């Protein structure tokens, strides 16, 4: 019930405008968002690198309303790629297709995506296409497959809570695509997504095993220690090389676990968001884990 409420609140324009101006909301959001500028994002990436953690930087934003806005977002993403190279950051970028104008037309979005992929290719870098809510799943996969034919420096995200995900994974692997596996953070109807956490976990583990057996470099994205332990057990059982995949986590969440995995010799990458459009992302983080909300409530009573 709480998760559903928080996800619904993420779509509230009134609450978004209030939060964007509220100093307390901004302060607590900094737990999960590196800042509002590229400079703050790069500084956070350097700090993570110093701890042995790789990064994937995300300029926050989604569902752009016009072509100019989408083009400006793409320019910022290209700035990230340049900054990563110039500052010698061990990192890549993550993007959302609705941020690049997917709602405005698939061909328009594809054109912008190609420019970003060209820039990344020139700089020997990698671009991960985030998966959004289910209305965009088919469109996102279609564009991914279109560009994958020419660009091998692009990957996709698959959400374990969707019934269709195993079939999608099989097709992506057949085409040589790289996958970040996560559980999923959007509100979806039980007609298309597992409503019970137990079933999501079981599907996550099934897909994880398929990914690790594929001999393609994938990412296992989770803060759930049971899922991490299941992954490590499978890797050790099957003698899968540690450098053939990586764990991924979100900025500001389970820092202790991130550090432990690095100490134990596992590859870890942190999803590092920044930008002024932090509200929807922030609300989804609160919805994912009760501990995130408790962190915010605890800080309400601090000076």
Contact yes or no for 34/276 (Cβ under 8 A): no
Calculate mean pLDDT across residues 86-92: 98
Residues 6+ apart with CB under 8 A from 1: none
- Residue 300 pLDDT more than 60? no
Task: Say whether pLDDT at 3 is over 80.
Answer: no
124-128, 150-154, 197-201, 295-299: segment of lowest average pLDDT:
295-299
Position with higher pLDDT, 301 vs 248: 248
Sequence-ordered list of residues with C-beta below 8 angstroms from that of 169, at least 6 positions apart, any chain:
158, 179, 207, 210, 211
- How far is residue 82's CA from residue 70's CA, in Å, rounded to a whole number? 19
Confidence of residue 179 (pLDDT cuts 50, 70, 90): very high
Domains of the chain: 34-277 (3.20.20.220)
Across 78-88, average pLDDT = 98
Give the mean pLDDT of the chain.
89
Kindly state the average pLDDT of the residues 252-268. Answer: 96
Report the distance separating Cα 247 and Cα 269, nearest Å: 6
- In Å, the largest CA–CA distance within the chain is 54
* pLDDT reading at 73 higher than 80: yes
Give the pLDDT band (50/70/90) at residue 227.
Answer: very high
Active site residues: 130, 180
Average confidence (pLDDT) over 57-76: 96
Higher model confidence: residue 210 or residue 284? 210
Q: What's the confidence (pLDDT) of residue 89?
A: 98
pLDDT tens digits along 11-51: 445 444 444 555 555 666 667 899 999 999 999 999 999 99
* DSSP line for 204-266: HHHHHHHHHTTTS-EEEE---HHHHHHHHHHHHHHT--GGGEEEEEETTS-HHHHHHHHHTT-
- Contact in structure between 164 and 171 (CB atoms under 8 Å): no
**What pLDDT is stored for residue 15 in this prediction?**
47
What confidence category does residue 280 fall into, taking pLDDT thresholds of 50, 70 and 90?
confident
Residues 6+ positions from 55 with CB-CB distance below 8 Å? 44, 45, 48, 49, 89, 90, 91, 92, 269, 270, 271, 272
| pLDDT value at 238 more than 80 | yes
Split at pLDDT 50, 70, 90, the class of 236 is: very high
User: Once rounded to an integer, what is the mean pLDDT over residues 68-81?
Assistant: 98
Q: What is residue 76's predicted lDDT score, i.e. its pLDDT?
A: 98
- Give the mean pLDDT of 167-194: 96
pLDDT digits (tens, 9 = 90+) for 142-152: 999 999 999 99
């Amino acid at each position: 019930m709480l998760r559903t409420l928080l996800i619904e609140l993420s779509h509230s324009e009134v609450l978004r405008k209030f939060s964007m101006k509220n100093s307390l909301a901004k302060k607590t959001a900094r737990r999960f968002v590196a800042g509002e500028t590229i400079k703050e994002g790069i500084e956070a990436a350097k700090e993570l690198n110093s701890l042995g953690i790789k990064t994937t930087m995300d300029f926050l934003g989604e569902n752009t309303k016009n072509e100019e806005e989408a083009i400006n977002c793409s320019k910022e993403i290209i700035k990230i790629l340049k900054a990563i190279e110039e500052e010698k950051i061990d990192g890549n970028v993550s993007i959302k297709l609705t941020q690049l104008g997917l709602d405005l037309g698939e061909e328009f979005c594809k054109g912008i995506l190609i420019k970003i992929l060209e820039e990344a290719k020139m700089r020997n870098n990698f671009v991960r296409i985030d998966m959004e809510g289910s209305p965009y799943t088919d469109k996102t996969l279609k564009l991914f497959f279109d560009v994958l034919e020419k660009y091998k420096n692009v990957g996709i995200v698959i959400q374990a809570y969707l019934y269709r995900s195993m079939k999608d994974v099989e097709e992506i692997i057949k085409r040589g695509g790289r996958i970040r596996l996560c559980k999923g953070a959007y509100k979806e109807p039980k007609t298309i997504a597992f409503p019970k956490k137990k079933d999501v976990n079981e599907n996550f583990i099934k897909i994880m095993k398929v990914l690790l057996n594929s001999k393609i470099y994938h990412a296992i994205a989770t803060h759930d220690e049971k899922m991490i332990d299941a992954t490590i057990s499978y890797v050790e059982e099957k003698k899968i090389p540690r450098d053939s995949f990586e764990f991924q986590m979100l900025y500001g969440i389970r820092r202790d676990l991130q550090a432990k995995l690095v100490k134990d010799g596992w590859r870890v990458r942190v999803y590092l968001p920044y930008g002024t459009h932090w509200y929807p992302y922030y609300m989804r983080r609160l919805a994912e884990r009760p501990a995130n909300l408790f962190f915010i409530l605890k800080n309400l009573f601090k000076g």
